[in-house]
Amino acid sequence: MPEPGRARPKPTPETKHFWDGTREGELRLQRCDACNTVYFPPRPFCPACASRTVSVFPASGRGVLWSYVIHHRPVPGFTPPYAIAVVQLDEGPRLMTNIIDCPQTPEALRLDMKLQVAFHRLDDEITLPLFRPAE
């Protein structure tokens, strides 16, 4: 997991910097130059103050497990059970992802456990930011 057949994100002009980043091994976030809010998902204006003066920067790739559900039904590209997780990044924003290299059980998936990004290449264009327990 993940496996072939998984739904594939479609980059847009607003998300191109993000997918370019994951392909190059960087988790890129945006920061508002007016109020310093760091945000995700990508958009061309600040969600806090609506400024369009925003910058892209590489995040640390570190965070903690904020929430998850364990999914038990088969879905193309996944072998159940698997966790659909929300990771709280060290920079502040939260990101929905999957946790790999870890049993998909409540005993192993502890809230607030430290995680690090693991880039998973789907094809030439898309590399997914998954997360694994931090070393």
Which CB atom, from 48 or from 96, has the smaller least distance to Zn ion? Answer: 48
Which CB atom, from 34 or from 100, has the smaller least distance to Zn ion? Answer: 34
CA dist., res. 111 & res. 73, Å (int): 23
- 65 is an interface residue for Zn ion by CB under 5 A: no
CA dist., res. 19 & res. 13, Å (int): 10
- 32 is an interface residue for Zn ion by CB under 5 A: yes
CB count in 10 Å sphere of residue 103: 11
Q: Which of 7, 8, 14, 35 binds Zn ion (CB under 5 A)?
A: 35
Q: Contact, 76 vs 90, CB < 8 A?
A: no
Contact range with Zn ion by CB under 5 A, out of 9-17, 36-44, 69-77, 94-102: 36-44
CA dist., res. 71 & res. 1, Å (int): 13
Q: Which of 14, 43, 51, 69 binds Zn ion (CB under 5 A)?
A: 51
Radius of gyration of the chain (CA): 15
CA dist., res. 37 & res. 47, Å (int): 8
- 92 is an interface residue for Zn ion by CB under 5 A: no
Q: Which of 7, 49, 108, 134 binds Zn ion (CB under 5 A)?
A: 49
Contact range with Zn ion by CB under 5 A, out of 30-38, 70-78, 112-120, 124-132: 30-38
